[in-house]
Structure 1
Amino acid sequence: MDIGLLILRLLIAAVLFAHGMQKAAGWFHGPGLDGATALFGKLGQTPPRAKVKLAVVCEISAAALLASGLATAVGAAVAAATMLVAGASLVLLTGSFWNTSGGGEYPLVLAALAVGLGFTGPGAYSVDAVTGLDAWTGAHPAVTGLLVAVIALIGASGPILATRKTLAARAVETA
């Protein structure tokens, strides 16, 4: 089980790091800061450049925490919240869940995987386990998992509602 958790943490961390660097620096065939700002504007994220910078910080910090297994519950909550905003924004823009239609399927799956780590903990191959800072030793794993999910939902709800409002206002203007 510990190897599986390590692989899952490293995979999610790699994807989050790549997403952040696509936005920040155009790495991995990404749009860079200007392209990401245009995309975030289209998605209804306002102000778009500030939201891009926030997404970059969240994605890269969550990636570092998950990869190392340090404060894993925090990393999982940040990753889940960030991916919930991304997924919901895509769904709101396109009206579709499915990735093939431009929907938010992929980031929503990443959010669910991050929440899953909240319930399982980081495993033995983590800084949390080695240092004894593992949040799961002091609380029942279900409590920690629920906290990760609730914190992610609370963190994502403001940006999602703002995006919904922006896209709805834009729809009225073009009608």
Structure 2
Amino acid sequence: MERLLKTDTNDTTLFAQRVLLGAVMLPHGAQKLLGWFGGGGFSPTMVHLTDMGIPTPIAALVILIESFGALFLVLGLLSRASALGIAAVMIGAALTAHLSHGFFMNWFGSQGGEGFEYHLLALGLALPIVIAGGGRHALDTWLLRRLGARREDAVHAVA
């Protein structure tokens, strides 16, 4: 658990990457989970994703990762796992829905859909967090301390 939660508590760059990635992904998750920001909500999103051929459990995970994973990134809670989930969703979205539309976003409406450049940028923000943790102000540090304190209490109770 320590490997999952440990991070450099002085790293402001990881903090900025974590919060920005979470803040950008959170509205996408809210669209899919809650129907906010013009999204369809959970059931219509599940239908859309499964109609694309995505298995039901994976479709549900995509929705949960984009919503709760993004929120956890903003908070710095389970930062590595949350960033890994976002990275996996970005790779999956790029390969299944955006690769065929080329690299660029559809700025001028001339493509059949959006390209995958956004997904690469999100992946570029996620990977350092997967490798090094959430950085400064991450709740992971608090959680690691709490788990360490519980472990010490359990050791003292046995002794």
Partner of residue 45, structure 1: 53
Offset at 1:10? Answer: 1.5
| Aligned equivalent of 2:67, options 60, 79, 84 | 60
Aligned length: 130
User: RCO greater where, 1 or 2, for CA within 8 Å and sep 6 or more?
Assistant: 2
Partner of residue 105, structure 2: 99
User: What is the CA–CA distance in structure 2 between the aligned matches of 1:46 and 1:130, rounded to whole Å?
Assistant: 36
Native 8 Å contact 2:76 2:137 kept in 1: yes
User: What is the CA–CA distance in structure 2 between the aligned matches of 1:121 and 1:50, rounded to whole Å?
Assistant: 27
Give TM-score scaled by structure 2 length.
0.66
Q: Percent sequence identity over matched residues? A: 29
Gaps of 5+ in 1: 134-175
Q: Quick check: which one's helix share is greater? A: 1
| Aligned equivalent of 1:88, options 88, 95, 113 | 95
| Aligned equivalent of 2:83, options 76, 80, 83 | 76
Gaps of 5+ in 2: 1-9, 146-159
User: What is the CA–CA distance in structure 1 between the aligned matches of 2:120 and 2:79, rounded to whole Å?
Assistant: 19
1:23 partner letter: K
Native 8 Å contact 1:124 1:130 kept in 2: no
Give TM-score scaled by structure 1 length.
0.61
1:131-150 to structure 2, matched below 5 A, reads 131-132=143-144
Distance 1:71 1:12, change over 3 A: same
Instruction: Find the residue that maps to 2:77 and give its secondary structure.
Output: coil
Structure number with bigger Rg: 2
Partner of residue 127, structure 2: 115
